[in-house]
Amino acid sequence: MIPDAPVRTAPAACRVGTRMKPGQRGTRKLLRDFGDRLVCVRYRYDENGRRRLTTIELVVAEAPWTPISSRLVHLDVRPWEISVREAVKKAGGRWDPERKLWRIRLDRALKLGMKERIRPRPTSEKSLSAGTPKSLPAETSAPEVKKVSITRDPLRRLI
């Protein structure tokens, strides 16, 4: 007959008392053993078993990784498209009241299949097209109009 082994508490169920970075006091021996693969050292406390557990976090594999695009795009969702709007909101979309469009990350918009709803970014020159010169000839410009402000003081005018 095999005697009952002591009941071990899973480290995840224990309270974390201290978390240390490699190189701090209490981690130097582990740093010497594991080198730059050591990420952190934790001391966990098992209240029931009255034990202190030393746990470590190690890098076990390394591979090239390309981050997901976090570029924001604007989606055109009509007011009556409630299910589409809810899907965009659930994916983290936010309403942009200035442009009256939904703002969401590009990768999430593509995952939802909304590529055709993406609207281009506004240009800095809103009123002029790319081929139009910035200053129009004098004969086509509108006559100068003097602006008058409506205030309590009728003698005060806008210049």
- Sequential pLDDT tens for the chain (159 residues): 566 666 666 766 777 788 889 988 888 899 999 999 999 998 888 888 788 888 899 999 999 877 666 788 999 999 999 999 999 999 999 999 999 999 999 889 989 998 899 988 766 544 444 555 555 555 555 555 555 555 555 555 554
154 in a domain, yes or no?
A: no
Contacts 24+ apart (CB under 8 A), 122-131: none
Q: What is the pTM of this model?
A: 0.40
Q: Domain range for residue 52?
A: 11-58
95 in a domain, yes or no?
A: yes
157 in a domain, yes or no?
A: no
Q: Are residues 76 and 53 in the same domain?
A: no
Burial 129-157 (b: 16+ CB within 10 A, else e): eeeeeeeeeeeeeeeeeeeeeeeeeeeee
Question: Quick check: 103 and 72 in contact, CB under 8 A?
Answer: yes
For residue 99, which of 118, 81, 80, 82 has the smallest C-alpha distance?
A: 118
Q: How many domains does the chain have?
A: 2
Cα separation of 147 and 65, whole Å? 60
